[in-house]
Amino acid sequence: MSPQERSASSAGEPAVAAVVVLAAGQGTRMRSATPKVLHELGGRSLLGHVLAAAEPLAAGTTIVVVGSGRDQVEAHLAEVAPAALPVVQEEQRGSGHAAVVALDAVPDLEGAVLLVNGDAPLLRPETVTALVAEHARAGNALTVLTAEVEDPTGLGRIVRDASGAVTAIVEERDATPEQRAIREINAGVYVGDAAALRDGLSRIGADNDQGELYVTDVLGLLVADGARVGGTPAEDPDDVLGCNDRRELAARRRTLNDRVLDRLMRDGVTVVDPGTTWVDVTVTVGNDTVLEPGTQLRGATTIASGAVVGPDTTLVDCTVEAGASVVRSHCLEAVIGPEAVVGPFSYLRPGTRLARGSKVGAFVETKNVEVGEGSKVPHLSYVGDATIGLGANIGAATVFVNYDGVTKHRTTIGDHARIGSDSMLVAPVTVGDGAYTAAGSVITKDVPPGAMGVARATQRNVGGWVLRRRPGTPAAEAAAAAERLTDAPENTGAHDDDEGRPSR
């Protein structure tokens, strides 16, 4: 739950007896094997956004009507809303039929019931709570959420009498020219008394082109009965927008992201280029943080005050602490400590924990590693399954060889140790406090504190090899010129034959 949602919940907003989410539709226009309500934007599924909007109501029961792709939807519910009750609509026969199925699952339910479609990702908690509050204040049998839109084409129009009470919802195909000029439309979100809903739903018919039962018909029956019916306009018309295909999904994603970035900037976050910056609704960003162009913050990522992220950086489920910097890097489930520096072109995998002032530099990959305060892995290295102490330095092109083909093993680097460039540390191995490894070494045994670990062949130089084996090449010409310049005597000693063995 976001801070805004928590504040709404704690402010004593009116509650409802039940929330019913209609999520059984096939969503054929999505052209996807994924159920429509499970498509994601801004860190939640379409269904997840609707559930989050209704959460501050503190409903006694939350019912989700499932149908198409029910197994996937139920599995998702078990993760994001385990207390919700999934109810199966075996045959999809319209919104009215789905509401009947839901209410039949809780036959003793009394009080106000919120009915909402599962594909309204822009619906906000404050819009839902305002709808419920107005329903309770007016003492309505049914209250519908409405919106004033510029172009109401194809949408159901809200018809009101002189007193402002809602008298009908008229679909465009049935509307008169005067009714078609109405710009207040039905948002498909309702609050109604459970008993009134049950009665109305029991009397609606399926005499329409689709042969389906519609909740909108209940409104007409209640008006005919003399019951009070109201309508509450959404403050932002975008709140009521549904999502029927991939184009609309992209449009809703853009609107949602703009809302998130607007809130962050109002809270003191610098977003250099909102057009290329994407932040999930589940992310927390502290003030005085700078988000450079091309930044993507996803999942449960938390950014503390004063950090700089980007450009061209993706963080998923990461923690970035105060004053840290992450540049052109991709990080998953990593903890980046205060004033730590990451990038450019770093890849931090799950389990990476960087302490204060540490550094992971260019073209470095880490996994399941703790890097101590002030320690550095500057460039071109792989560090996996390791603990690195304070103030250590890992030379360029070092590889922590953690996998023997069956089991992962751990490497420990002590405080203020120095690992020479191009070292291979074959785990399990420990390099002690203050120890060194020589560049190019393959370390397979522990290096005691203060020792130098050397594990490489002795170098030997074969004189005259290029002139004999590569005559006429630029290298040979350069070598010959250098010999003439230094007036070096011709090498008459032993030399290698064609197989590299010394000749006699």
Q: State the catalytic residues.
A: 379
What are the phi and psi torsion angles at 140 (to 5°)? -75, 155
Q: Tell the residue number behind the tokens 């106000």, with chain if given.
A: 112
* Nearest Cα to Cα of residue 196 among 168, 170, 229, 171: 229
Tell me how far apart the alpha carbons of residues 268 and 382 are, in angstroms, rounded to a whole number.
Answer: 37
Cα diameter, the chain: 117
Tell me how far apart the alpha carbons of residues 426 and 109 are, in angstroms, rounded to a whole number.
Answer: 65
* Nearest Cα to Cα of residue 415 among 452, 390, 381, 387: 390
Quick count: other Cβ atoms within 10 Å of Cβ 455? 16
Q: Please state the length of the chain.
A: 504
- Is residue 266 within 8 A of residue 260, CB to CB? The reply is no
Structure tokens at 90: 């075996």
- Is residue 232 within 8 A of residue 170, CB to CB? The reply is no
- Is residue 169 within 8 A of residue 218, CB to CB? The reply is no
Q: What is the 3-state secondary structure (H, E, C) of 290-309?
A: EECCCCEEECCCEECCCCEE
Tell me how far apart the alpha carbons of residues 49 and 37 are, in angstroms, rounded to a whole number.
Answer: 10
* Nearest Cα to Cα of residue 347 among 334, 332, 330, 361: 330
Question: Cα–chain-centroid distance for residue 18?
Answer: 29
What are the phi and psi torsion angles at 118 (to 5°)? -85, 10
3-state helix, strand, coil in the chain (%, to 5): 25, 30, 45
104: left (phi over 0), alpha (psi -120 to 50) or beta: alpha
Q: Is the dihedral of CA 235, 8, 228, 122 positive or negative?
A: positive
CA distances from 215 to 144, 148, 162 (A): 11, 21, 24
Q: Which DSSP helix (H) or strand (E) runs through 261?
A: helix 246-266
* Nearest Cα to Cα of residue 479 among 490, 487, 463, 467: 467
Tell me how far apart the alpha carbons of residues 282 and 441 are, in angstroms, rounded to a whole number.
Answer: 46
Burial class (CB in 10 A: 0-12, 13-18, 19+), 181: exposed
